[in-house]
């Protein structure tokens, strides 16, 4: 059985990070090993969340895995809580990257032009260095602008800008970059990717559902990682991940006041499994 190591926090309530990655990756028939970075009562968009930092456990966990000769078919990182955690993850990548596995970095730190609570430009700069070690990175446009230190354009961009941004993102060192939340035509939303080695671009769009739910980035990235791990190409995997995310959003739409509680992706898992 294939095995992914995912490194992110546990937000106990408000589906995101590990509470999404575990069930979604399992649906692909892939084992999900976890390195929890922190335990929070909820994700950080709720007021008054608790935060148990697990930074000091990260390297000892990895050391034990090395002693036990444990290996991974993919290394997948999401939300990381501090500069120190980014440095530790860089070290874990060095220890566990092989010629046969891949690294997926979702540089979770910002959306809608703003950094999430607790992050600053120094964190963005170190996330940018972490992206250099990745085979694939999946930022949204806000995260891309922080990674590159370039101005955020809001909705005011065209296809040339998307292509230039993708090239610049791979200049950071990542082999492939995928921009999420791209809309070049009204009522369409999707992803635009670039493979530096092949020098090819690709995109996939679905209808734009005009509601916003927390945690959809984690639903997308977890499905993408699962699909790549079972051997789908990047293009196939992006389609699977976008379709699953859209399906999850449409199954949640009757409940938009619960936007901070994440999407009801559980209802979309049967379709996902059937589609594989």
Judged by the rule CB under 6 A, the positions of this chain that interact with ligand PXL are 9, 11, 16-17, 40, 43-45, 79, 108, 116, 215, 217-218
Contact 168, 161 (CB under 8 A): no
**Rounded least distance, CB 113 to ligand PXL, Å:** 15
Strand (E) or helix (H) holding 122: helix 121-131
**CB closer to ligand PXL, 140 vs 229:** 140
Tokens of 47: 């007021």
**CB closer to ligand PXL, 101 vs 224:** 224
**Whole-angstrom Cα distance, residue 89 to residue 73?**
16
Q: C-alpha angle 9/165/87, rounded to 5°?
A: 35
**Rounded least distance, CB 123 to ligand PXL, Å:** 13
**CB closer to ligand PXL, 44 vs 126:** 44
**CB closer to ligand PXL, 65 vs 123:** 123
**Rounded least distance, CB 158 to ligand PXL, Å:** 28
**Rounded least distance, CB 40 to ligand PXL, Å:** 5
Q: Closest Cα to residue 81, out of 101, 57, 52?
A: 52
**Rounded least distance, CB 186 to ligand PXL, Å:** 27
**CB closer to ligand PXL, 42 vs 87:** 42
Tokens of 92: 């874990």
* Contacts of the segment 45-52: beta carbons below 8 A, 24+ positions apart: 45/14, 45/117, 45/214, 45/260, 46/13, 46/14, 46/260, 49/11, 51/81
Cβ neighbour number for residue 211 with a 10 Å cutoff? 13
**Whole-angstrom Cα distance, residue 149 to residue 155?**
18
**CB closer to ligand PXL, 96 vs 213:** 213
**Rounded least distance, CB 36 to ligand PXL, Å:** 11
- Classified as helix, coil or strand, 47 is coil
């Amino acid at each position: 059985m294939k095995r992914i190591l995912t490194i992110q926090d546990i937000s106990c309530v408000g589906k995101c990070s590990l509470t999404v990655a575990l069930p979604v990756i399992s649906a692909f028939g892939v084992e999900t090993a976890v390195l929890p970075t922190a335990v929070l009562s909820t994700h950080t968009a709720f007021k008054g969340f608790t935060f148990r930092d697990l930074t000091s456990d990260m390297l000892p966990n990895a050391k034990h895995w090395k002693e036990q000769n444990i290996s991974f078919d993919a290394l997948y990182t999401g939300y990381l809580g501090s500069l120190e955690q980014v440095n530790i993850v860089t070290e874990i990548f060095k220890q566990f990257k092989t010629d046969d596995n891949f690294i997926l970095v979702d540089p979770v730190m910002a959306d809608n032009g703003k950094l999430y609570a607790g992050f600053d430009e120094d964190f963005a700069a170190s996330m940018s260095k972490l992206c250099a070690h990745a085979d694939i990175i999946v930022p949204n446009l806000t995260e891309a602008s922080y990674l590159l230190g370039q101005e955020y354009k809001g909705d005011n961009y065209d296809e040339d800008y998307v292509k230039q941004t993708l090239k610049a993102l791979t200049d950071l060192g990542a082999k492939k970059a995928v921009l999420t939340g791209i809309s070049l035509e009204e009522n369409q939303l999707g992803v635009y990717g670039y493979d530096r080695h092949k020098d090819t671009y690709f995109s996939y769009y679905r209808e734009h559902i005009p509601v916003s739910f927390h945690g959809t980035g984690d639903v997308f990235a977890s499905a993408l990682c699962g699909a790549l791990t079972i051997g789908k190409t990047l293009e196939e995997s992006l389609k699977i991940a976008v379709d699953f995310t859209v399906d999850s959003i449409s199954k949640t739409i009757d409940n938009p006041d619960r936007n901070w509680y994440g999407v009801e992706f559980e209802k979309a898992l049967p379709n996902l499994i059937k589609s594989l």
